[in-house]
Amino acid sequence: MILVFGKNGQVATELLRQANIFALGRDEADLSNPASCVEKILLHRPSIVINAAAYTSVDKAEKEEDLAMLINGEAPGAMARGCAELNIPFLHISTDYVFNGNGLEPWQIDSPAAPLNAYGRSKLLGEKEVMSAGANSAILRTSWIFSSHGTNFVNTMLRLANSNEVINIVNDQIGGPTPADKIAEALLKMAYAMQQGQKGGIYHYSGSPYTNWSEFASEIFHQSGKKISVHGIPTSDYNTLAKRPLNSRLDCTKITQDFEIETPDWKAGLVRMLNNLEINM
């Protein structure tokens, strides 16, 4: 049995679609109480655990850093320790926000982590706690997740298109939009390989080719048939509580080498997402 923490999030929803898993929602597993997460693992005694739950409000985390640290940092560490006790694989989702966004080159697995905001610091703590827990663990750093459900950039753009003809979008943050269905697919492939004895580690997985938010928005409107004019602006003109990294490029070589998982084409993922939205309308 695969036990997944998270039930309604983007990746958790895709995991439920793709595999026979047992998912725990917020009402069943309180990540602000890490000890209770261990209890759930020991109670259900799964063969694999995937943590797809997190504190994801980047700006709000600036005011609730202690809570973010508990949910994104200490809870995953506790889960990993529970998995170590049962000698089962543990997989955890992390983020490009553990890096400071300097430079133009893709971030390597071993590039120095230096988060710019509270959310990034909480996710980095989670990585450290997981990797020191003693389980066979894998951390999947990803970026700019989107899907047909939940809160994400694509759904926000589609909503704004209903009431705007011109939209200002940041054009100097560079990264890889990543379809949630492909993240779920990658996690499952890794999990099954680890169950057979393959070792985990830290991996990068994000969509290709690299783009910026403004170009991403233009492609969303193009594919959805929305006649919206996108005006690119610098990050300095878009004030947010939390500072965002400018360079979110991730080098994904290792996941291909170790698990034969290729980086996903985000434009193809966008086609699938929009088709799914039409089917469910």
Catalytic residues: 119
Interacting residues of 219 by C-beta distance below 8 A, sequence separation 6+ = 211, 267, 270
Alpha helices in 132-251 (DSSP H): 153-160, 180-195, 213-224
Looking at the DSSP bridge assignments, the partners of residue 22 are 3
Alpha carbons 76 and 92: distance in angstroms, whole number: 7
Residues 142 and 181 sit within 8 Å (Cβ to Cβ): no
Beta strands in 12-111 (DSSP E): 21-24, 48-51, 90-95
**Longest Cα–Cα distance in the chain:** 56
- Residue 222: CB atoms within 10 A of its CB come to 14
Quick check: 266 and 178 in contact, CB under 8 A? Answer: yes
